[in-house]
Structure 1
Amino acid sequence: MSVTPPREQFLVISALGASPMELTSVLCRASQESRCNVISSRLSRHGEYSALVLQVAGSWDGLARLEGSMPALAKRHDMIINVTRSAAAEERPNALPYVVYVSAAYRPDILGELCQFFSDHRIELENMTCDTFQAPQTGAALLNATITVTLPPGTQISWLRDQFLDFADALNLDALIEPWRPQNP
């Protein structure tokens, strides 16, 4: 008689709280106590709040236990927590990861325009970081964005690069698109 291992399941937990250390500590400890593993995480500060997103893997009963503990944790630690069941990320072996860097004078429509460009070309967003700041020399509002995208198989890279650079020029963006490379410590 063959026994197959239980299929791993996933939760995505998004949380907002005032203390990044408490947010991370409480949710990682709750995951461990429920016999679940943190697969990926992202933490960022936004004004007086920090946002944490965790992907947690475990058996169905471990995830159910973790999911059930979230309302009490949120209340006890003054956090806002959302939990969503998720499947594993689908593998896309022929897709190509690229990184887009954008610097420009800040305008509220820039991110929307960038997302629309990628959507129009069937390019998926994987990760996006955007910061606005004032230039120390002039006080002008500036934007820096780093976006990781996945090009679908068969994409003509030189054509896409030309299209993107024309798009960036039309919006007066200083932009670059290049292959994603792993970061070595």
Structure 2
Amino acid sequence: MSAQNYLVISALGKDRPGIVDELSKAILDIGCNIADSRMTVLGGEFAILLMVEGNWSSLARMEEAMPALERQLDLTIIVKRTEGRDRSTPSLPYVVDVVSLDHPGIVHQLANFFSTRRINIEDMATTSYAAAHTGTIMFSVHMTVGIPADIHIASLREDFMEFCDAINLDAIIEPAQR
């Protein structure tokens, strides 16, 4: 594709087989390409985020097609033009995994720990589940963070582990394997 133009598409609707097939076919038929995506089912709802790339006119056609696509696929769709990711500030990708007894505020506490250190959360997934044998409700967080290159990793790791110990979270932080 000649120029890199991007459109972020967010879609939400009742889960059913075939949604990804139908949505990806519509994107392809208009002449766009899915550059990045995340999809999940939350309760009975299907949710997807897509970054679609294409030339200016194909993205304009995609924007124009959204109302009809919403009706056809029975989805709520939001679209927004965007740019490619700014990679001018060097950062190191690290993976953070946390498990604990479920209680309110875990995501906020983790987000606050990283944001106060200028560390961007780039990807995150959380889930609640019943522990084997006991049935105790557990909460797990998996995230990828971008650690600025000027942060001392060993000190950050030590601070993070102390933080997690203080609020009773079992955690690891390690370089992302790409």
TM range (shorter): over 0.9
CA distance in 1, matches of 2:64, 2:91: 37
CA distance in 2, matches of 1:92, 1:181: 21
Letter in 2 for 1:178: E
- Could you tell me whether the CA contact under 8 Å between 1:94 and 1:153 is conserved in 2? yes
Shift of 1:147: 0.7
CA distance in 2, matches of 1:7, 1:138: 55
TM-score by length of 2: 0.95
Give the match for residue 161 of structure 1.
Answer: 157
- Could you tell me whether the CA contact under 8 Å between 2:157 and 2:173 is conserved in 1? yes
- Could you tell me whether the CA contact under 8 Å between 1:100 and 1:146 is conserved in 2? yes
1:130 aligns to 2:142 (yes or no): no
Pairing partner for 1:69 from 65, 73, 77: 65
CA distance in 2, matches of 1:107, 1:154: 33
CA distance in 1, matches of 2:38, 2:149: 28
Unaligned 5+ runs, structure 1: none
Pairing partner for 2:173 from 166, 171, 177: 177
RMSD across aligned positions (CA)? 1.4
Pairing partner for 2:4 from 8, 11, 16: 8
- Percent pairwise identity: 38
What CA deviation, in whole Å up to 9, does each residue of 1:1-48 have, x standing for no partner? xxxx84220000011122354321222111111111110111111000
Unaligned 5+ runs, structure 2: none
Give the match for residue 60 of structure 1.
Answer: 56
1:102 aligns to 2:98 (yes or no): yes
- Could you tell me whether the CA contact under 8 Å between 1:15 and 1:53 is conserved in 2? yes
Letter in 2 for 1:103: V
Letter in 1 for 2:44: E
TM-score by length of 1: 0.91
CA distance in 2, matches of 1:17, 1:52: 9
